[in-house]
A and B are shown apart, each in its own frame.
Chain A
Amino acid sequence: MSPLATSADEKPLLRIAMVGHVDHGKSTLIGRIRHEMSALPGTAAVDASVAGNWAFVTDQLQEEREREMTIDTAQTFLDTPVCRLVFIDVPGHQELIQNMLSGATRADAAVLVLAGDEGVQVQTRRHALLLAMLGIRNVIVAVNKMDTLGRREDAFRALERTAVEELRTLGLQAAAVIPVAARDGDNVVQRSPAMPWYEGPSVIEAIGDLEPAVLPDDALRFPVQGVMRNGGPVTIFGRVLSGSVAEGDVLSAWPAGAEVTVRTLRRFPEDHAPAQTGESVGLVLDGPQPARGDVLAAPDDPPLVTSTPTGRVFWLAEQPLAPGEVLALRCATQVVAVRVTEIADRLDTATLDPLPGHEPLAAMQLGTVRLTAEHPVVVESFERMAGLGRFVLERRGAAVGFGIVG
């Protein structure tokens, strides 16, 4: 859970993506949770059009209902006495991977849904790989459709072993593996009396037990978002990515490394208190004025500045990425032209089998990509500071791939 995210009444926010293979029951599980939890005060009842088809809670498009398949990601909110849960539904179909990612990149945790009658499928594995890549470590496995397996323990244990092993190869550890029948509500909110051999938590209980992720670092990083020149002194605005900033602080602006001093912290209404992680503020600086894309940091703890960034890149576009191509790299508020110098290795994300390197990176392949940037870029390792450790690659403005620094 990101400490950056709090709802308006400052209750912690936990965003949970439901991921997994097509038709394994992601939308049904969200709908069922939403239905059973709608007794909570302040929660609207599930609307009548759902009529027992729990997936319709998030599948609200005409095409989705006619084809009984999620096409686009959707979010639904649930306020519990202790926190706000945001459930992010994503499509399981591989053609819709970009919609899955639009949802999953916003998640703090995930429930990997696995249908008992089909077991681990291509998209189960690919989605799990993406969770690992996106740094989502809080993963719960829901073995769904236990009704098709007679709610038998031996069938569940076999699937549990497979799932745990698959996750282990990706460096993930399941916080819980739960036998579920989402349609009927078994182990969704209430423990199921029909599976007395299972003594673990329900899906909602397991979500409640997740440990919040801790920010690994509190070094100041302030990516400059823009400059306001009308109405008062020239003001740099942006959001504190990490650390805090106060009036009088001496900082360096990267990639150039120029020294600046914070003269005034600007807010509306006026308030001069130090700005903390996650806050959007304005800074009036003495010294050379930084521009959008620059990153402010404390002089004794500079970020990484490089003209040759390397990343693990997941490719999305139909037209592959080839060595020599020039595209735009977007990282925090920076946009820099980059040329692909090398695609060192590739991975088939359906089978997790390695593919030969030094060949174009096709859609849904993951590769190590070395880039040469037109100007130096400011980055960090993803583990140290996710906000400067991830990037999107763009062709004519459209996102065609994304990567993790390192």
Chain B
Amino acid sequence: MESESIYVIREAYARYAKVAVLWSMGKDSTALLWMVRKAFFGSVPFPVVHIDTSYKFPEIYAFRDRLTREWGLDLRIARNEEALAAGMGPTKGDKFACCNALKTVALKRAIAGMGFEALLLGIRRDEHGVRAKERYFSPRAQDFSWNVGAQPPELWDLYATAEEAAHDRIHPLLHMTELDIWRYVRREGIPVNPLYLARDGRRFRSIGCAPCCAPVPSSAATVDEIVAELENSRESERAGRAQDKESAFTMQKLRSLGYM
């Protein structure tokens, strides 16, 4: 499972001159970053991009700065300053517009500004029905759009990358489930954001912006306890995510516009 992911990561590194990895400091993208270090014998040989909405939890920023130092990362922060100056936020207007402006638009500008040809992302198929349809190598058009109904074929692990794509999204963790990630975190001893660990009977199962993520009831205060909890849980991972509740196809719409 790890080997498959490392193969995809190395394939991206070997094939593109300008690659970056997207890091949200969540468990998935931190596990991805760990695999990048394993793929390249301890170093991360390309930039690490954080799409910063400015609404993240303080624990997320602290975790980011600590690992950036310890792992020697070339961190680039991408923010949509214009939208932030204009007051864009999750409490103003709808959440769809906020996610689109502060995440997708910020990402678009970062890619354009830094000229990345390929971006590594830690999304997984079991997270969401729309992400279940992703490819390992997923092309994006100039306007960032993703046409989920007309994706190019992906045959075995012989990844074709059409010349006309503006950039490619690379998804090395596609085959892993939430439980796989936690077992991997445990096996490898990967640092974990404290928000995931239960405090006062609640913990976050999925983390993002503070106003749009709700903790779930839990007593799992260690990684071992999280693994045990998930082995017996029937609740979906994104149950605490406001974005998914707004409308049935919000994720599909966001993703077709270039969302992660």
Contact = CB atoms under 8 A, between A and B. Distances in A.
Nearest to A392: B158
B192 to A, nearest CB: 16
Contact of A392 (B10, B148, B160, B164): B160
* Interface core residue of A7, A228, A280 (most chain B CB under 10 Å): A280
B180 interface: yes
A41 B230 CA distance: 8
Contacts of B181: 8
B18 interface: no
Nearest to B183: A8
A156 B8 CA distance: 45
Contacts, number: 170
A282 B156 contact: no
A135 B9 CA distance: 27
A6 B14 CA distance: 25
A105 interface: yes
A396 B10 contact: no
Interface string B156-195: 1010111111000000000111011101100100000000
A222 interface: no
B234 A268 contact: no
Interface residues of A, number: 67
Interface stretch (A54-62, A183-191, A247-255): A54-62
B132 A62 contact: no
A60 to B, nearest CB: 3
A6 B158 CA distance: 20
B201 interface: no
Contacts of B184: 8
B77 interface: no
A390 B43 CA distance: 33
B133 A74 contact: yes
B166 to A, nearest CB: 13
Contact of B232 (A5, A41, A58, A231): A41
Interface string B45-64: 10000000000000000000
Contacts of A268: 37-38, 40-42
A381 to B, nearest CB: 16
By size class, the interface of chain B is 35 or more
B130 A60 contact: yes
A398 B160 CA distance: 6
A7 B1 CA distance: 6
A75 interface: yes
Contacts of B153: 98-99, 101-102, 316, 399
A264 to B, nearest CB: 11
Contacts of B135: 102
Interface in B130-168: 130, 132-133, 135, 148-149, 151-156, 158, 160-165
Given A75-B132, A226-B10, A394-B160, A231 B236 contact: no
Nearest to A96: B149
B41 A399 contact: no
A399 B231 contact: no
10 closest A-B pairs by CB:
A60-B129, A226-B14, A98-B153, A399-B160, A280-B6, A398-B162, A8-B180, A397-B163, A74-B132, A392-B158
14 contacts: A7-B1, A8-B179, A8-B180, A8-B184, A42-B179, A44-B234, A44-B236, A47-B236, A76-B126, A268-B37, A268-B38, A280-B6, A292-B14, A397-B161
Given A8-B176, A42-B232, A225-B14, 12 more contacts: A74-B125, A231-B43, A268-B37, A279-B3, A280-B2, A280-B3, A316-B153, A330-B158, A392-B155, A392-B158, A394-B160, A398-B163
